[in-house]
Amino acid sequence: MGRGWKRNRATTLVPRQSLTRQLFFKALKQNLRIKTFVGTSANALQIQVWTALIALLLLKYLQLRARFGWSLSNIAALLRQQLFVYRDLFSWIDQPFQPPPQLAPIAEQIPLSW
């Protein structure tokens, strides 16, 4: 155990995995506004963690695809608002300050005859 001793791989991976886990749950709480988990069973927690992971993956994909310089927290917050507006998602992430396009007028509905 002198100078020639090399660190065991397990001793270097365990703290790194713990830090990665902590950063993951911190990102979940900050970006997705998850305060508590709904279920307490192992299956319920796994479903919620996988769902949150998929949501973070989609947000990260949108962030990388956008030409506008989004932060992950900004795109998560503003995307919540834009879900109620009909617009092309990919044009919105590139030009977020443009107003939504005008919808075409609805044609008159044909009356039903019995």
Instruction: Report pLDDT for 12.
Output: 56
63 neighbors 72 (Cβ within 8 angstroms): yes
User: pLDDT band at 3, cuts 50/70/90?
Assistant: low
pLDDT digits (tens, 9 = 90+) for 54-103: 888 888 898 888 888 888 888 888 888 877 877 888 888 888 887 777 77
Q: Quickly list H helices, 1-114.
A: 9-31, 42-65, 72-82, 89-94
90 neighbors 65 (Cβ within 8 angstroms): yes
Structure token digits, residue 17 = 């995995």
93 neighbors 58 (Cβ within 8 angstroms): no
Q: Is the pLDDT of residue 4 over 60?
A: no
Question: Has residue 46 been placed in a domain?
Answer: yes
Question: Has residue 107 been placed in a domain?
Answer: no
Question: Has residue 49 been placed in a domain?
Answer: yes
Question: Has residue 3 been placed in a domain?
Answer: no
Question: Has residue 108 been placed in a domain?
Answer: no
Count the Cβ atoms, other than its own, within 10 Å of residue 29: 13
CA distance 13 to 17: 6
pLDDT digits (tens, 9 = 90+) for 17-66: 777 778 777 777 776 666 677 778 888 888 888 888 888 888 889 888 88
Domain membership of residue 90 as a residue range: 9-94
Q: Is the pLDDT of residue 10 over 60?
A: no
